[in-house]
Amino acid sequence: MYKIKAPSEEYDRKIGGVQFVSGEAQTDNEWLASWFSGRAGFTVETVSAEEETEPTEDKPRGKRRNDKGNADAAGAKSAAEPAAGNA
């Protein structure tokens, strides 16, 4: 995998099938990486498999321990309560 940096961080366009966002792009294509490295202002670096994946935050999964699946009391109405004006 190759990481390509454009001359400017504001570079947001597609060139040769490579999409740049905020001045950066990635490609697996060795020929394209070589082509960009020969262009003024562009830098190309090889990215290893470990560097490819960005760290993710641990997010809680599933229900909270105290969540019984009920709406909270402030907004909940029982099915037996008639709506206002329908009495």
DSSP class of 53: S
Whether residue 82 lies inside any domain: the answer is: no
Query: pLDDT tier at 51 (50, 70, 90 boundaries)?
Result: low
Query: Which residue would you say has higher pLDDT here, 34 or 57?
Result: 34
Per the CB < 8 A criterion, the answer to whether 33 and 48 are in contact is no
Which among 21-25, 59-63, 77-81 has the top mean pLDDT?
21-25
Q: For residue 30, how many other CB atoms are within 10 A of its CB?
A: 10
Whether residue 28 lies inside any domain: the answer is: yes
Whether residue 47 lies inside any domain: the answer is: yes
Whether residue 60 lies inside any domain: the answer is: no
| CA-angle at 27, arms to 24 and 30, nearest 5° | 125
pTM comes to: 0.55
Encoded tokens for 53: 């994946």
- What's the total number of domains in the chain? 1
Whether residue 34 lies inside any domain: the answer is: yes
Q: Which has the closest alpha carbon to 16: 27, 1, 5?
A: 27
Whether residue 73 lies inside any domain: the answer is: no
- Residue-range definition of the domain harbouring residue 39: 2-52
Q: What is the mean pLDDT of residues 16-34?
A: 94
